[in-house]
Amino acid sequence: MKKRHFTLEQKLAILKEASENGVSLTLKKHGVFPATYYQWKKKFETMGVEGFSHGMTPGQLKRIRELEKENQLLKEIIVEKELEGKLKDELLKKKFALEKRKNS
């Protein structure tokens, strides 16, 4: 089966028609799968007309980069804290071992 491509205007018209006349009837009329329809609907609700362009908007890419940097920073902080905790544990073990030797 050949893949159909819909223009932006066709997608918007199908979304509008589905909201007015019912989803199942509209999808059968236009030969659109429900998963495709709901994907279009989600994109339209979250990003508007821009959601239908392929790829991500520059704002989304910028936000992803910011989140990746923040995530990396948090990972480094966690590693530092774990290392610090291990060093403290080792020092405490050594301290108690020395105190046991002195008391023995």
Dump pLDDT digits (tens) for 62-96: 898 999 999 999 999 999 999 999 999 998 888 88
Residues spanned by the domain of 6: 1-55
Same domain, 47 and 71: no
Q: What are phi and psi of 33, to 5 degrees?
A: -75, 145
Same domain, 20 and 41: yes
Q: At what angle do helices 23-30 and 8-21 cross, to 10 degrees?
A: 140
Same domain, 62 and 51: no
Same domain, 75 and 103: yes
Same domain, 70 and 51: no
pTM reported for the whole predicted model: 0.52
How many domains does the structure of the chain reveal?
2
